Structure 1
Amino acid sequence: MNAFLRFDPSNRRLSLNARDPNFYREPNKTYAAIHAAMPTFFWEEQKRWYFTGYDQVNALLRDRRFGRQITHIASREELGLPEPKPHLADFDRAESKSLLELEPPEHTRLRTLVNRAFVSRQIERLKPEIAALAHQLIDGFEKYGEVELLDRFAEIIPVTVIAKMIGVPLDMCRQLLDWSHDYVRMYQFGKTREDEDRANRAAAEFADYVIRLAAERRNDPRDDLLTLMLSPARDGQYLTEEELVSTTIVLLNAGHEATVHQIGNAVNLILRSGLDHQTMFADPRATELTVEESFRISAPVHIFHRWVLEDLEFDGIPLRKGDEVGLILAAANLDPKKFTDPLTFKPDRDEGISLSFGAGIHFCIGAPLARLEMQTALPILFDRLPNMRLLREPVVKDVYHFHGLDRLDLAW
């Protein structure tokens, strides 16, 4: 067995060093080994149970006995949870009303208010704008014969689109990226005090900016998402200031962070496959399947966590109220019981949707936007640069559970 991975099938225990490059550079190989040995296991280093089977993860995402929040039904003292860290006060405040962290009825109310801007028919109107931006960016580097794609293309498209949707001036995009990169450090395994301090500082600056921008919009309403969030819903309800800050931050972060990774992951995947990209993007249906397959086999977000809201048993594991469990979406996407030959990239695969966007009430609100950006930008990129190739070995980020590249150098 690999040094970074040890199984104990007798009691479903697993030891796995998530910071080992042999794991995070090619996690799919490890996921295949986990499926073969024990898809449900107690991860020693993380000190909680994890689930990787497609059916189990899909069920858990929809099971209301599990939630993103726990302190709405029990106090920290009751659950034996540590008190919040003082040096993370600004981060905790920004997360306090996050769509990602709430349960009904608060979650239902917030999601209803925000969902007005993310329905598919609204998102589809952005396609010409995304296409024009993709062409503009390629115009800027095509003549040089090479490019680092993440910095010049993959980062710019999603952050520009979500900033314009929300109503953030485009000259703030670089700052948004910096805040977002620091903010999401809180979600990685093995985070340090420096990571926490940077995330807290980013949260404070991010929140202050959103409050200032909201004040401007109250005086100067525009046709953007921020103005929409400042207006009442049909029942007359408004977002509070805390809700507005949390929601804007999560939309800006989620609206670009994963898509940046996925554009890089997909281009790397397609170039390595040696398959004909003209066939992959021959028509809208082929493009849709290609993009879905890239999300399945190279998901940008690998893990969601859930709190256990009542004593129960799941997959033979007794769980207590207040336990936290992990759902490895990227591994569920590779379940051989669901997908044939799951480690192989098959752009025409049509075996049902992956779990990369989650499921249930917390299904990713930005999924239509992420899919549209991918389905629009990738065909343009491969059409404009048909001889594109890897210039050097891509650098995988030293971050788990976000899977993406630090660099993707291409030539043509």
Structure 2
Amino acid sequence: MTDHTFLAIDAARRQVRLDARRPAFYSDPNTTYAALHAACPTFYWQEQKMWFFTGYDHVNSLLRDRRFGRQILHVASRAELDLPAPAEHTRHFDKAEEHSLLEIEPPEHTRLRTLVNRAFVSRHVEKMTGEIEALANRLIDGFERDGETELLSSFADIIPVTMIARMIGIPDDMGPQLLKWSHDYVGMYMLKRSRADEDAADRSAREFADYVRRLIAARRAEPREDLLSHMIHTEHKGRHLTDDELVSTTIVLLNAGHEATVHQIGNSVRVILESGVDPKTLFADPKATERTVEETLRLCAPVHIFQRWCIEPCEIDGISFQRGDKVGLILAAANLDPLKFSDPLAFRPDRDEGANLSFGAGIHFCIGAPLARLELNIVLPLLFRRLPDLELAAKPAVKDVYHFHGLERLELAWTPPAVAG
């Protein structure tokens, strides 16, 4: 048995005890993932009371396997599965999630995704290049002469939320409020969540939904050239989205469209600075930039776990699953599978060993992936070009928000440009 204080692995029985609330784990989960790959890539996580998969091939195939889904109550009742009734204190959150693209299955998922997918294909998203560059440059202009900044609050927090809000049709000045609602909302997905986290998520879900409903009414009366107007006025097979579907879809697009990218900007800057590799080589041309972005996504993914319900009885890696069982897929660990990636814990932007799974796969592949990739491919080289001697001013602290992975703060320093005259 392997024991690292917060981690105990019984490889013979494929049983793992892992305290995800310990800083030793969430500050450096990759080391734990390496230990799991070495001992038992498929394991029963005792604290979470379910089986988890870390192997690249298993995670990749299960994300696409229609015997598993994000939903279960479309094929079985709560009574059949012995599930408790929904909690009263999270009813607003549950209502907002009722039609979420992340939580539903075909045919409803197909209908909703078809109506919004068009806006997120690469050729449409790439039209935002100029806006992203202008915003990033303006933000850097604001702190360049200071010689120091906390990058999350001055840069990373602002760009993704501003761009997804503009795309949907929400004013820039709503950015801080959207961030607050989103941070509270995603608290429901943290393994350490408390009753206070649940209360905050429910309160913000109610406020968020009320705001979106007011926006829907305004766009219904006066359509604009934005995604919300498109979703309101476009039909699929003779059906329009209901208001409840519009609220769920708008909230998930806003949350997914910026939360992970905020984390990834910070994670990527940290990895690059700690690697010691000259940023000039990493961002020498668009191809090098793309490889660098993909390697940081592989090495420090912003979202680590997706869960699936078993819909049909089956056997995976020698484990039998019945309808109603839940499984965990650790995307970030699959990105470190030594059977897929050589020297997997190393930052090697020249590697060409296949795609990372940081955006998922299958029908629930992240709809915002083209936008996130575009933002990263623009803002990272721009930041290092504008601040050529950028360095860490303090050891970055990782947020206690597992199964997300991002920084609490990222303090940076550089030599400010000389003032002319």
Q: Shorter chain as normaliser: what TM range?
A: over 0.9
Aligned pairs for 1:324-335 (under 5 A) are 324-335=326-337
Structure 1, unpaired ranges of 5+: none
**Alpha-carbon displacement from aligned partner over 1:358-377 (angstroms, at most 9, x marks no partner):** 00000000000000000000
Q: Quick check: 1:129 aligned with 2:137?
A: no
Instruction: Output the amino acid matched with 1:292.
Output: E
**Alpha-carbon displacement from aligned partner over 1:34-56 (angstroms, at most 9, x marks no partner):** 00000000000000000000000
Distance (whole Å) between structure 2 residues aligned to residue 388 and residue 8 of structure 1 = 44
Structure 2, unpaired ranges of 5+: 415-421
Instruction: Output the amino acid matched with 1:350.
Output: D
**TM-score between the two structures when normalised by the length of structure 2:** 0.97
Contact 1:305 1:324 in 2 (8 A): yes
Q: Secondary structure at the residue paired with 1:301?
A: coil
Q: Quick check: 1:392 aligned with 2:394?
A: yes
Contact 2:8 2:16 in 1 (8 A): yes
Instruction: Output the amino acid matched with 1:251.
Output: L
Contact 2:59 2:330 in 1 (8 A): yes
Distance (whole Å) between structure 2 residues aligned to residue 9 and residue 300 of structure 1 = 28
Instruction: Output the amino acid matched with 2:132.
Output: I
Say which of 296, 301, 322 aligns to 2:303. Answer: 301
Q: Which residue of 1 aligns with 2:344?
A: 342
Contact 2:192 2:402 in 1 (8 A): no
Q: Which residue of 1 aligns with 2:381?
A: 379
Contact 2:62 2:68 in 1 (8 A): yes
Distance (whole Å) between structure 2 residues aligned to residue 323 and residue 156 of structure 1 = 39
Q: Which residue of 1 aligns with 2:353?
A: 351
**Alpha-carbon displacement from aligned partner over 1:244-274 (angstroms, at most 9, x marks no partner):** 0000000000000000000000000000000
Say which of 45, 48, 52 aligns to 2:47. Answer: 45
**Alpha-carbon displacement from aligned partner over 1:334-366 (angstroms, at most 9, x marks no partner):** 000000100000112221110000000000000
Distance (whole Å) between structure 2 residues aligned to residue 80 and residue 162 of structure 1 = 39
Q: How well do the aligned residues superpose, as a CA RMSD in angstroms?
A: 0.7
Say which of 253, 256, 268 aligns to 2:255. Answer: 253
Say which of 406, 409, 419 aligns to 1:407. Answer: 409
**Alpha-carbon displacement from aligned partner over 1:208-257 (angstroms, at most 9, x marks no partner):** 00000111111211110110110123533211111000000000000000
Contact 1:333 1:354 in 2 (8 A): yes
Say which of 264, 269, 273 aligns to 2:275. Answer: 273
Aligned pairs for 1:11-410 (under 5 A) are 11-233=13-235, 235-410=237-412
Deviating more after overlay: 231-240 vs 141-150? 231-240
Instruction: Output the amino acid matched with 2:91.
Output: A
**Alpha-carbon displacement from aligned partner over 1:295-328 (angstroms, at most 9, x marks no partner):** 0000000000000001111110011110000000
Contact 1:280 1:348 in 2 (8 A): no
Q: Secondary structure at the residue paired with 1:172?
A: helix
Instruction: Output the amino acid matched with 1:36.
Output: A
**Alpha-carbon displacement from aligned partner over 1:78-123 (angstroms, at most 9, x marks no partner):** 0011110001100000000000000000000000011121111000
Instruction: Output the amino acid matched with 2:202.
Output: N
**Alpha-carbon displacement from aligned partner over 1:172-214 (angstroms, at most 9, x marks no partner):** 1100000000000000002111000000000000000000011
**Aligned residues between the structures:** 412
Sequence identity, in percent?
A: 67
Distance (whole Å) between structure 2 residues aligned to residue 347 and residue 152 of structure 1 = 27
Q: Secondary structure at the residue paired with 1:126?
A: helix
